[in-house]
Amino acid sequence: MRSVVDLLRAEDREAVHALAPSERVALALALGRRDLEAFRAAHDPPLSHDEAARFLERQRQSGRQPSRCLREIIG
């Protein structure tokens, strides 16, 4: 027996697969803007757009290790 969530996921997947590649890119960008706005507004006081983007970028980069090539160039 499939749950309601499973059915909604399948419908969403079918709807996305029916889109042209350019429409998928536009959808992905719109979702990213929406999520950034939600993250920005969730803070008290709300962050500016640039502050929120920088915060998320720093958070994304925090766990990464520099590549060997980069370490050799920088020293």
Domain boundaries, the chain: 4-74
Structure tokens at 11: 């419908």
Cα atoms in the Cβ-side hemisphere of radius 13 Å centred on 53: 6
- Per-residue pLDDT tens digits for 1-55: 689 999 999 999 999 999 999 999 999 999 999 999 999 999 999 999 999 999 9
DSSP 62: T
CB atoms within 10 A of CB 40: 18
